[in-house]
Structure 1
Amino acid sequence: MQETEVVIVGAGPSGLVLALALAHRKVKPGLEQKLRNLIEQSEYARLRTRCRVQSQAQKNHEIEIYFETEHGTKEGIKSKYLVGADGKRGVVRKNFLEPYGIRQEVGLHEYCRKWIAANLRIRMPTPETHPQFELWELGYQPEELWDLFWPPHFHFCNHPTMPVAAGRFGPTNQKYWRFEYELTGMDVPENLEGDLQAQVLPHITLPARSFRNNERLSVHSVTFPWDCVEIIRCQPALFVHKVVNKWFQDRTILIGDAAHVFPPFGAQGISNGVRDAIGLSWRLSFLLAPTRVPQLKSEELLHGWSQERRWGVDEGSILTMRNGDLMNNKSWLKSYGIWTAWRVLDFVPGLKSWIIYQLYSDLNGFRGVKNGFFLPESGGGGRIAQIWVEEQDESPNLSDRVLWQSNSVLTLLCLSDDVPATETNEVNRLLDMKNLGSKILSPQVEQIVASTRTQPSVKRPKSSRMKRYQPCNVQMLNAAEIYLPQGYSETAFARRFQRGTRYALMSPDMIVFSQASTLSQASAQLDKAVAMLGI
């Protein structure tokens, strides 16, 4: 029987991210394949596909998993933990945990509808392939038709009986299009592709006024050729929101769709699955380390993770249903009112950005969660913002990537613009005095300053463990030809911390463990972290 540390059943995004995070703690068509490629390159993880898990047995502090390979042979693996990342109908929850009363139940919001979800690949017609197409006479070129009939971004249509969501996805040069629509009932049409065509055609039929030189047209509208639309996937999907009543039993744990399912109004399913994996990865990495952790503390650590993740799932369901309410609205009056208000807000971009930030930002992180891995009384629990930063003479890098480089439970973060040499020496002495080891506390202190212009006035000694990063402003990033999302601000990182915070302790999932105005406060907070970890 083979032996390993953790067995992950399921090779979807959440399972692959967890495998990668455990192997090195690093993360649309093509995403899953890239994750698989990274796993195959790692010496710490092995991906076994086309296997059917059949049974498991827990003996003392180990789990034995038995499975059948694609060749029909029976094999077994012995591990410390079993993680079910095998979807809402997966074997881990259905077969191994439901006997213990663990099941998916209605979440914070109840929603259950049947939709048709289709992935399309679009090929542009040409004068040679479609000589009768009307737009050639108006001077249009084939590539112009992509933006014309299949415009950028995602679009939500408040159809009176069946709401529609459509838009581009995947690599921009591949011309993929997603089209989803709600069925009026729970019955699926017999001719699914024919029904899809009937639903899509009105969206790719444009009135004559949409085109330049339209006075030459002899028709009132033009339809994009349907034979240039390849249906890659067209399947019914039950959109529902559910979450498990318990996330783990002994050494068997659930993440991703095995733990929760969402309607796709905001991509919260995959977002929460990735966060499940990242939050679990550093805890499992710590529990698998040679350091002995009492069994009670192990359960407390996993329980805290499950409390954080349930909070995250509930927050995700709020975002999902906000989007769903807008998308599924069948009142033309309400739709027109929302559209009008949004157009008016275009004239007040600052207010519009503020509203979006308040509605969709997750800056609160896990504040309010009981038993989470942070100190609420010391400003812990919030989630930091991701910005671009640069170290002297280095290329811009994402702040999350900088903080993720450590394999430690905690990283000490310095938020001061300038740290004198005497204080740098105090930081070094603190790290040496604690002697916690790199598994608990990163030997590297990350200094992310608030200003994009300040330079250190005092040269730090060469023995300093502090690496200094400055936020990159929009001009710097534009010059580096780095794509920026709408509303990017280099001050977003600093704004997530309390006024007067000089030091902060961070966990690998970008949650603030604690905030301190002095180094002595940070030292006391480290002692509390050690007690919470049970070492």
Structure 2
Amino acid sequence: MGKMEKTDVIIVGAGPAGLALALSLAKFNIHSVLLEKDLETTEDPRGVYLTHDAIRILWDLGLGDSLQQIGHEVPSVNFHTTSFANSPFHIKHLSADECWQTIPNAILFIQPKLESAMREKVMATPHCDLRCGCTVTDREQCGENLIVQYESGKGASRKIGKIKGSFLIGADGKKGVVRKHFLEASSGIKQVDSAYRYDGTWVAANLKLIVPTPETHPAFPLWNLDFTPEAVYDLFWPKGWHFCSPPGKPTAAGRFGPYEARMWRHEFAQNDWDDDSMDAERLLWEHLKPMITRSKDSSNRQFPGGEVTYPLDCIHILRCRPYRFTHKVVNKWFDDRIILIGDAAHVFPPFGGQGIASGLRDAHQLAWRIALFQRLPEGSRTFRNGLLEAWARERHEGVKYAATFTSLNGRACNQGDSLLFWFMRKLIWLVNRIHFLPIIPDPIVAIETRGYKQVEDGFLSTKHGGGGRLAQIYVEQQNQPPMLSDELIKRADTVMSLLIIVRGSGADLGAELVAEAKEALRAVKMERSVLSEDSIRILSPDSGTDAQVFYPTPSRRLAELGITIKKGYSAHNYLARFGPTTRFVIVRPDFYIFSLANDVEELVECLEMLRVRIG
């Protein structure tokens, strides 16, 4: 056995949640070691759908440029009866800026490509150490630290290593060693039923599709109707994501990955599954063939020769097997310095793209808390538990929101166009067309943008408007190109950021507010690693001559620069989240607001509250 190694955080499991935590910690110069039992990333895609803020988190971790290589933006979610060969009874378009988020609202991606891109980022930073082929076998408490023992190699090359760290994170899945072996028996921590009660068995398949051509399939009848190969592909394998409801088996299907990868996910309910008597591939073909057999084109014009089936030799099954889908969440998220994230903490059915997304949220919202504790010289057990309890309360609420999102799609998929679903669609459609009535927001959008305003005892000030999520727009400074507004709070030297909102005329107004903010920070004696004068950013609704002031980039300028924006994008969205009288905003690094203040007296009160929170 080699000598004892040391790190700040030990992460077990290098899936999306574990990798996201390592990258999030690295932003604050917190070192981590990731122990992964597998030598390579799996080649079998599992999760395929990422939603809203999960994409924003990946962008924040430096993966924005990689997203086009791992997936494509989702144009729509379509709800059908029986088959995606039928016209949808409801279409949810995702191209508008409903969630006030500039980057895509959702992507359909290839999980191995995502994990590979994240691993590249991890290996490129000196603050992360990824070790594959390592099986964790034991852990022990050593004062205020944990010691983790692991094995690597086999036979004569087998080695045993030990690492000491301040925190142990279980990101090793629902059957991982951290919860199942370290916490379940000793602390009673287990996954239990949550807000969305669902339990079912589905057959899930990944298909690699080939596009037929007149040269490869000269007898294919649609060439005589002037179909191109791409038109054939689009007809039989339509873009977007598709939920199909009874009559027939509930189904979830769609393209995933970059369009040129030609990948298709096909899942259908098989609640009477029996290992001994059923064959997954046989059931897949029985279910799939009617959906890829058409008698008319996308304009409902009948084919003169009758039904046409997509060439079966152009469909290659990469994976086809039964899965049990359910929703569970742990009854406790942490025990002392051992913390659970990702599938180790919660599992979801595949109706809302919330599995991986929730793991990314766990990691992103945990990392700055660990950084806060590690940076403060007098961090006590009471302070640490307070940080983690607030995180657990927020994440419990976040998982509940995610379950609601999942259940809305799940009910439509499993039960079809119910009377309630029909009534709500018609009501929203009617009210939103009557100009003097307030618009009814999509319930999913309301859940996504609500944030943690209703969480009691979270790390925020409900008294001062905390808990809301920041909007995302483009901002710029004089003589500087536009950037995403999330860059305003991307810092390594302080955990929090202080935004100063300058409204009104007067050349000295911004300078006066900055001077007041600096004096407030000194008066409260705020710990510099939490919030300092260097973490101040000035934001104004309008452009000006002060090079230090940021302002929203007008849509017209974005168009001139060739930057594409969504329908409904507004440069005013960012400030609209704060209210018209807000002058000071204390912002957490995970896009959530700690507090809003209308004047310097309220700012001092908010800073005092923040100082109390950090002990």
Give the TM-score of the pair, scaled to structure 1.
0.90
For residues 292 and 298 of structure 2, the distance between their equivalents in structure 1, rounded to whole angstroms, comes to: 12
Question: Aligned to 2:363, which of 265, 269, 277?
Answer: 277
Query: What secondary structure is seen at the aligned counterpart in 2 of 1:501?
Result: coil
Q: Distance in 2 between matches of 1:236 and 1:286?
A: 43
CA contact (8 A) 2:451 2:592 kept: yes
Q: Looking at both structures, which has the greater relative contact order when contacts are Cα pairs under 8 Å and sequence separation is at least 6?
A: 2
Residues 432 and 440 in structure 2, CA contact (< 8 A), matched pair in contact too:
no
* Runs of at least 5 residues in structure 1 that lack an aligned partner in the other structure: 461-466
- Describe the SS at the equivalent of 1:129: coil
* 8 Å contact from structure 2 (residues 474, 482) kept in 1: yes
Match among 159, 166, 174 for residue 80 of structure 1 = 166
Residues 63 and 81, structure 1, Cα contact 8 Å, conserved in 2: yes
Q: For 1:370-389, what aligned pairs fall within 5 Å after superposition?
A: 370-389=456-475
AA partner of residue 379 (structure 1): G
What are the residue-to-residue correspondences of 1:239-318 with 2, within 5 Å?
A: 239-289=325-375, 291-318=377-404
Pick closer, same or farther for the CA change 1:168–1:132 going to 2, 3 Å: same
Quick one: distance in 2 between partners of 1:386 and 1:11? 29
State the shift of 1:349 in Å: 11
Cα offset for 1:191? 2.3
> Does 1:446 pair with 2:533?
no
TM-score, normalization by structure 2: 0.79
- Counterpart of 2:407 in structure 1 is 321
Question: Which whole-Å deviations, capped at 9, do the CAs of 1:188-222 have from their partners, x for residues lacking one?
Answer: 5732122212222222222234479x68x542122
Q: Does residue 1:181 correspond to 2:181, yes or no?
A: no
Judging changes above 3 Å, is the alpha-carbon distance between structure 1 residues 235 and 405 closer, same or farther for their aligned structure 2 residues? farther
The structure-2 alpha-carbon separation of the partners of 1:357 and 1:412, relative to structure 1 and needing over 3 Å to count, comes to farther
> Closer, same or farther in 2 for the Cα pair 1:132/1:345, shift >3 Å?
farther
Residue 575 of structure 2: aligned partner: 494
Secondary structure at 1:208 match in 2:
coil
Taking the aligned partners of 1:46 and 1:350, their CA distance within structure 2 comes to: 58
Distance 1:200 1:472 in 2: 48
Q: Tell me whether 471-480 or 71-80 shows the greater mean CA deviation.
A: 471-480
* Matched residue SS, 1:135: helix
* 1:46 shift after superposition: 0.6
Change (3 A) 1:385 1:331: closer
Tell me how far apart the structure 1 counterparts of residues 464 and 607 of structure 2 sit (CA, whole Å): 12
Does the 8 Å contact 2:500/2:513 carry over to 1?
A: no
Q: How does 1:38-437 map to 2 (within 5 A)?
A: 38-71=121-154, 72-99=158-185, 100-187=187-274, 190-210=278-298, 217-289=303-375, 291-330=377-416, 354-356=440-442, 359-417=445-503, 419-431=509-521, 436-437=526-527
Match of 1:35 among 111, 118, 128: 118
Distance of 1:76 and 1:98 partners within structure 2: 23
Tell me if structure 2 keeps the 8 A contact 1:115–1:181: yes
How much has 1:436 moved relative to structure 2?
Answer: 3.6
The structure-2 alpha-carbon separation of the partners of 1:349 and 1:134, relative to structure 1 and needing over 3 Å to count, comes to: farther
| Pairwise CA distance, 1:416 | 2.6
Q: Which moved more, 1:112-121 or 1:486-495?
A: 486-495
Letter in structure 2 aligned against 1:37: E
- The CA distance in 2 between the partners of 1:119 and 1:407, in whole Å, is 44
Change (3 A) 1:355 1:416: same
Cα distance in 1 for partners of 2:449, 2:427 equals 26
Q: Secondary structure at the match of 1:279?
A: helix
Q: Is the 8 A contact 1:379 1:498 kept in 2?
A: no
Structure 1 position 87, deviation (Å): 0.8
2:24 to 21, 24, 30: 21
Checking the alignment, whether the CA contact within 8 Å between 1:329 and 1:335 is kept in structure 2 is no
Query: What letter matches 2:274 in structure 1?
Result: D
Q: Is the 8 A contact 2:582 2:597 kept in 1?
A: yes
Query: Structure 1 residues 147, 318: closer, same or farther in 2, change over 3 A?
Result: same
Which position in structure 2 is the counterpart of 1:6? 9
CA distance in 2, matches of 1:125, 1:352: 50
- 1: CA distance, partners of 2:219 / 2:437: 49
**SS of the residue 2:549 aligns to:** strand
Give a deviation string over 1:3-61, Cα, whole Å, max 9, x none: 11110001111111000000115532121111111000010111111211111111211
> What is the one-letter code of the residue matched to 2:120?
N
| RMSD of aligned Cα (Å) | 2.8
Q: Is the 8 A contact 1:158 1:332 kept in 2?
A: no
Inter-partner Cα distance in structure 1 for 2:437 and 2:162: 59
- The counterpart of 2:551, out of the listed 455, 470, 475, is 470
Q: Deviations over 1:257-291 (max 9, x none)?
A: 11111112111222221111111100111112252
Letter matched to residue 324 of structure 1: G
Q: Give identity over the alignment, percent.
A: 37
C-alpha separation in 1, matches of 2:232 and 2:475: 39
In structure 2, C-alpha distance between the alignment counterparts of 1:473 and 1:198, rounded to whole Å: 53
TM-aligned CA deviation for residue 424 of structure 1: 3.1
- The residue number in structure 1 matching 2:43 is none
Alpha-carbon shift at residue 487 of structure 1 (Å)? 4.3
- SS of 1:389's partner is strand
Shifted more, 345-354 versus 514-523: the winner is 345-354
CA distance in 2, matches of 1:343, 1:9: 48
Q: Residue 505 of structure 1 is aligned with which of 553, 577, 586? A: 586
Deviations along 1:415-468, one digit per CA (max 9) or x if unpaired, are 33454333333334444555645420151322333x4xx2236x47xxxxxx43
1:191/1:250 Cα in 2 relative to 1: closer, same or farther (>3 Å)?
same
Local SS of the residue matching 1:296: helix
What displacement does 1:181 show? 1.1
Distance 1:472 1:115 in 2: 47
SS in 1 for 2:467: coil
| Deviation readout 1:367-396 (Å, 9 max, x if unpaired) | 222221111111112222222222333333
Q: CA deviation at 1:482?
A: 3.8
- The 1:352–1:158 alpha-carbon spacing in structure 2 relative to 1, beyond 3 Å, is farther
Change (3 A) 1:21 1:332: closer
The structural deviation recorded for 1:245 is 0.7
> What is the CA–CA distance in structure 2 between the aligned matches of 1:335 and 1:290, rounded to whole Å?
51
Change (3 A) 1:45 1:209: closer
- Identify unmatched segments of 5+ residues in structure 2: 29-59, 62-108
One-letter amino acid of the counterpart of residue 11, structure 2:
I
